[in-house]
């Protein structure tokens, strides 16, 4: 790639525009914390330049620069309609600098809340996966039980897990245990169903070639059927994961004292919409990071498919 192709980019021009926009006088009464916004933009630009220098393939570079360019454009528009021209309601649409400032002020609090949310998800989700996959393998493999189980799991799986919450509260002692229980249910049924259908869809020839090797039943289930059905199982795991986040954050807004849903609900009740937006952004970032890691894991375990 030529130097021009690397560095002469719309993204870099947008960065300059963004910086120039900050020179306009503020029109809002409260502190806008513009330095935090500038700091954030500089971090983005450093990333953009690093990508421009290090990137070897043009498509990859285009993608990262385009993403950063979109962010710049969004920041420019946001800054203009809030801090600089005060078009929108100041309380509902805080300037971005203030959002970043608030994020850094609250970082300890946010950490505690994320940790609480993730612990609950991890417990409910992992417990469900660890039970549903072996059970699904077993039920899918024994045709008669599997047929019956399909109907039952269709019925139980069609109940939206959120409606278990009131009953869960009656059954279980703490909010935390109710949340784990609900996330367990939300993950268990899709993983069980996808595992069972994965087993049923394993090519007969694959099973035959395992049979002629005289594999034992556990080896058949865990060394042959499990990997053969894995890509289908991941569909259920993915579904369970996204439903788990929806459920947990909703539940946290109802009755928790911790968690990201609680953080958002609490501050929006007080009319602190800066923190509400902080909460939204943080949840988005956390879920994106987790699905990124999840996709990496999936890609690694299914690397033989490429």
Partner 1 sequence: MSKIDIKNLTVEYSDKNHSFKALDNVSFSVELGEFVSIIGSSGCGKSTLLSILEGINSPTDGKILIDGNPISGTGFDRGVVFQHYSLFPWMTARNNVAFGIKQAKKELKKDERLKIADKFLDKVGLEEFKGKYPKQLSGGMQQRVAIARALAMDTDILLMDEPFGAIDAKNRTILQELLLSLWEESKKTVVFVTHDIDEAIFLSDKIIMMSTRPGRVYKEIRVPFKRPRNRSEMIGLKEYSDFRNKLISLFYGDIVDKIGGSKVVL
Q: Which residues bind partner 1 (CB under 8 A)?
A: 203, 205-206, 208-215, 219, 223-224, 227-228, 230, 303-306
Contacts of 199-206 with CB under 8 Å at 24 or more apart are 199/136, 199/137, 199/140, 199/141, 199/146, 199/225, 199/229, 200/140, 200/146, 201/229, 201/232, 202/228, 202/229, 203/228
Q: Which is nearer to partner 1, 151 or 300 (CB)?
A: 300
State the nearest-atom distance from the C-beta of 212 to partner 1, in Å. Answer: 4
Integer CA distances (angstroms), 87 to 17, 74, 78, 92, in order: 20, 16, 10, 11
- Min separation Cβ 191 and partner 1, Å: 20
Q: How many helices (H) and strands (E) does the chain have?
A: 14, 0
Residue 240 C-beta: closest distance to partner 1, Å: 23
Nearer to partner 1 by Cβ, of 144 and 303: the residue is 303
CA 140 to chain centre: 30
Closest approach, Cβ 216 to partner 1, in A, equals 8
CB distance 33 to 98 below 8 Å: yes
**Contact 229/198 with Cβ under 8 angstroms?**
yes
Q: Which is nearer to partner 1, 30 or 209 (CB)?
A: 209
For partner 1, which is the closer residue by CB, 92 or 213?
213
Nearer to partner 1, 89 or 223 (CB): 223
| Environment class of 292 (CB within 10 Å of its CB; exposed 0-12, middle 13-18, buried 19+) | exposed
Smallest gap from Cβ 230 to partner 1, in A, equals 8
- DSSP annotation of 162 reads G
Q: For residues 231 and 268, which CB has a smaller minimum distance to partner 1 in the complex?
A: 231
Shortest distance, position 209 Cβ to partner 1, whole Å: 5
Q: Name the residue nearer to partner 1 (CB basis): 169 or 210.
A: 210
How far apart, in Å, are the Cα atoms of 300 and each of 69, 163, 230? 31, 36, 12
Nearer to partner 1, 89 or 201 (CB): 201
Q: Cβ closer to partner 1: 222 or 292?
A: 222
Euclidean distance between CA atoms 90 and 39, whole angstroms: 22
For the CB of residue 290, give the shortest distance to partner 1 in the complex, in Å: 25
Q: In whole angstroms, how close is the CB of 203 to partner 1 at the nearest point?
A: 6
Taking the complex as a whole, how short is the minimal distance between the CB of residue 150 and partner 1, in angstroms?
25
């Amino acid at each position: 790639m030529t130097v021009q192709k690397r560095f002469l980019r719309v993204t870099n021009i947008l960065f300059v525009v963004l910086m120039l926009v900050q020179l306009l006088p503020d029109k809002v009464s409260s502190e806008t914390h513009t330095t935090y916004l500038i700091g954030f933009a500089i971090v983005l630009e450093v990333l953009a330049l690093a990508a421009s220098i290090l990137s070897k393939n043009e498509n990859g570079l285009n993608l990262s620069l385009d993403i950063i360019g979109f962010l710049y454009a969004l920041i420019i528009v946001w800054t203009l309609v809030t801090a600089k021209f005060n078009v929108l309601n100041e309380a509902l649409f805080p300037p971005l600098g203030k959002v970043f400032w608030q994020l850094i002020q609250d970082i300890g609090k946010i950490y505690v809340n994320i940790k609480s949310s993730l612990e609950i998800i991890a417990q409910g989700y992992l417990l469900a996966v660890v039970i549903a996959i072996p059970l699904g393998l077993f039920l899918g493999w024994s045709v008669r039980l599997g047929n019956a189980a399909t109907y039952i799991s269709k019925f139980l799986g069609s109940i939206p897990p959120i409606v278990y919450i009131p009953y869960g509260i009656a059954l279980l002692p703490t909010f935390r245990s109710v949340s784990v229980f609900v996330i367990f249910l939300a993950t268990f049924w899709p993983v069980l169903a996808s595992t069972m259908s994965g087993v049923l869809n394993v090519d007969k020839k694959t099973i035959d070639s395992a049979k002629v090797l005289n594999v034992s039943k556990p080896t058949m289930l865990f060394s042959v059927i499990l990997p053969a059905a894995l890509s289908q199982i991941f569909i259920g795991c993915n579904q369970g994961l996204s439903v788990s986040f929806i459920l947990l954050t909703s539940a946290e807004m109802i009755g928790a004292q911790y968690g990201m849903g609680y953080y958002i609900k609490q501050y929006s009740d007080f009319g602190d919409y800066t923190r509400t937006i902080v909460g939204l952004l943080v949840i988005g970032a956390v879920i994106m990071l987790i699905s990124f890691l999840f996709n990496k894991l999936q890609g690694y375990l299914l690397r033989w498919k490429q």
